[in-house]
Amino acid sequence: MKAKLLKKVFHSQSGLSLVEILVVLAIIALVGGGAAIYISGVFDRQKPKITEQRIKEIEKFILSFKMDQGFIPNSLEDLVTAPESGRDVKNYPENGYMDEDLLKDAWGNPFVYTLTGSKYEIISLGEDGLEGGEDLAADISSRGKRSVE
Is residue 18, in this structure, part of any structural domain at all?
no
Domain of residue 116, CATH code:
3.30.700.10
Instruction: For CA atoms 77, 83, 87, 91, give the dihedral sign.
Output: positive
What pLDDT does residue 148 have? 38
pLDDT confidence tier of residue 88, bands split at 50, 70 and 90: confident
Half-sphere exposure of 37 (CA within 13 A, CB side): 6
C-beta of residue 139 within 8 angstroms of C-beta of residue 107: no
Model confidence over 4-19: pLDDT tens digits? 655 665 555 566 788 8
Judge whether residue 144 has pLDDT over 90: no
Which residue segment(s) compose the domain that 143 sits in? 49-149
Residues whose CB falls within 8 Å of the CB of residue 140, separated by 6 or more in sequence, listed in order: 48, 51, 52, 55, 105, 123, 124, 126, 146
Mean confidence (pLDDT) of the chain: 83
- Between 95 and 10, the more confident residue is 95
Q: Does position 149 have pLDDT exceeding 70, yes or no? A: no
Question: What is the reported pLDDT for 54?
Answer: 95
What is the tally of structural domains in the chain?
A: 1
146/123 Cα distance (integer angstroms) = 9
Find out whether 76 and 58 touch, Cβ atoms under 8 Å.
yes
The answer to whether residue 6 is domain-embedded is: no
Q: What is the pLDDT of residues 100-130, one digit of tens each?
A: 999 999 999 999 999 998 899 999 999 888 8
54: exposed, middle or buried (Cβ count in 10 Å: 0-12, 13-18, 19+): buried
